[in-house]
């Protein structure tokens, strides 16, 4: 367990997660519950919160729920206060809430752009401030912000969401440096998920052409992989975790050949990979950009038949010694080949 967590082993540590009623947030809450944490859930919709709460209880954890929109800092502060009153001091906080609006920039309404920014970026800022108010005086705690592969390289059709996730990454870097300067024991990390099979795409607003609806570009990963990455970031104080080979390659490609990536995404990254005309997928749409869902949302989305359940990259990330060993072996192999030549 992280050094930033309480030394009193008689008390289960407490996690709070925003966006905890569906998708990655709900999956992460259940995982932490199974691994010995009590969990506070924050989201907008009561039905989704109650459903997620029951799943957390099945994992053997105490749990508390609070309705709040992360774009409302006062509501978020009240939610945190209520959760602490029920579960005790918050040891870790995960900012997972996020929303999107699909469409070309000029087709996305101004109010959608503002809403995506307020929730996906400023919601992280608000959540971090609420967490730090509690953690800084105690000089312990762990905050993990959920970024995205699109924080490493923006994609067309999601300019608002891409920009918000870039802002999350920049905010995390700046604040981490401030914590270092203050010599604070509070830890701050970021996890960048890849395309993930969650209801996120069904919940996103859509302004796509010809009746198309959003879908994740392949390869698509199971949310359990990202939940495991968040657990890794919290319990091992990881500065940054990039989930899946797709995410890692995105960041490298944007550094090495950004112009070529512009061309590739411009020709293949719009309707070819992010839009579907499937009637089955369209029937499951439940836009929640400007309102909470009236029904409980599951962990998984409607793309199960395309989903990868494992990630070699994450397996290596969980085992740094193995990763270093493979790197040394590869270097030794290349050296021997060059020597023979």
Tell me if 248 sits within 8 A of 219, measured CB to CB.
Answer: no
- In this structure, is residue 331 part of a structural domain? no
In a domain, 318, yes or no: no
Domain membership of residue 329 (yes or no) is no
Per-residue pLDDT reduced to its tens digit, 114-153: 999 999 999 999 999 999 999 999 999 999 999 999 999 9
Give, in degrees to the nearest 5, the angle at Cα 240 between 21 and 246: 80
Domain that holds residue 243: 14-310
Query: Would you say how long the chain is, in residues?
Result: 341
Q: How far apart are CA 166 and CA 117, in angstroms?
A: 11
For residue 320, whether the previous peptide bond is cis, meaning omega lies within 30 degrees of 0, is no
Closest listed residue to residue 187, CA positions, set 139, 147, 227 = 139
User: What amino acid positions are annotated as catalytic residues?
Assistant: 161
In a domain, 334, yes or no: no
- Residue 110 in any domain: the answer is yes
* 97 located within any domain: yes
> Is 319 contained in some domain?
no
Residue range 55-73: mean pLDDT, rounded: 97
Structure-token pair, residue 334: 């290349």
Specify the CATH number for the domain of residue 34.
3.40.50.720
Higher-confidence position of 341 and 31: 31
Whole-structure pTM over 0.85, yes or no? yes
In a domain, 293, yes or no: yes
Q: Which of 264, 229, 270, 248 is nearest to 102 (CA)?
A: 270
Count of domains observed in the chain: 1
Q: Has residue 282 got a pLDDT over 80?
A: yes
């Amino acid at each position: 367990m992280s050094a930033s967590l309480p030394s009193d082993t008689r008390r289960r540590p407490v996690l709070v997660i925003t966006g905890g009623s569906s998708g990655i947030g709900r999956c992460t809450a259940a995982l932490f519950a199974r691994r010995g944490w009590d969990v506070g859930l924050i989201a907008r919709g009561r039905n989704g919160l109650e459903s997620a709460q029951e799943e957390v209880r099945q994992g053997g954890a105490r749990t508390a729920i609070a309705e709040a929109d992360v774009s409302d800092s006062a509501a978020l502060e009240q939610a945190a206060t209520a959760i602490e009153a029920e579960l005790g001091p918050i040891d870790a906080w995960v900012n997972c809430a996020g929303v999107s609006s699909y469409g070309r920039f000029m087709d996305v309404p101004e109010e959608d752009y503002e809403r995506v920014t307020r929730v996906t970026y400023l919601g992280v800022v608000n959540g971090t401030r609420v967490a730090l108010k509690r953690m800084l005086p105690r000089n312990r705690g762990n905050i993990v912000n959920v970024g995205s592969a699109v924080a490493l390289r923006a994609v067309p059709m999601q300019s608002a969401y891409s920009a918000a996730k870039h802002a999350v990454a920049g905010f995390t870097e700046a604040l981490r440096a401030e914590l270092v300067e203050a010599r604070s024991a509070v830890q701050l990390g970021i996890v960048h998920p890849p395309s993930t099979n969650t209801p996120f795409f069904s919940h996103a607003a859509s302004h796509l052409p010809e009746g198309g609806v959003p879908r994740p570009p392949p390869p698509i990963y199971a949310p359990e992989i990202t939940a495991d990455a968040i657990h890794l970031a919290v319990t091992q104080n990881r500065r940054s975790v990039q989930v899946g080979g797709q995410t890692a390659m995105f960041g490298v490609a944007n550094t090495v050949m950004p112009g070529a990536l512009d061309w590739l995404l411009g020709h293949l990254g719009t309707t070819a990979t992010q839009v579907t005309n499937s009637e089955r997928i369209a029937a499951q749409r439940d836009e929640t950009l400007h309102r909470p869902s009236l029904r409980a949302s599951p962990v998984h989305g409607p793309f199960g038949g395309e989903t990868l359940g494992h990630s070699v990259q994450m397996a290596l990330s969980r085992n740094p010694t193995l990763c270093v060993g493979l790197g040394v072996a590869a270097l030794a192999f290349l050296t021997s080949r060059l020597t023979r030549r």
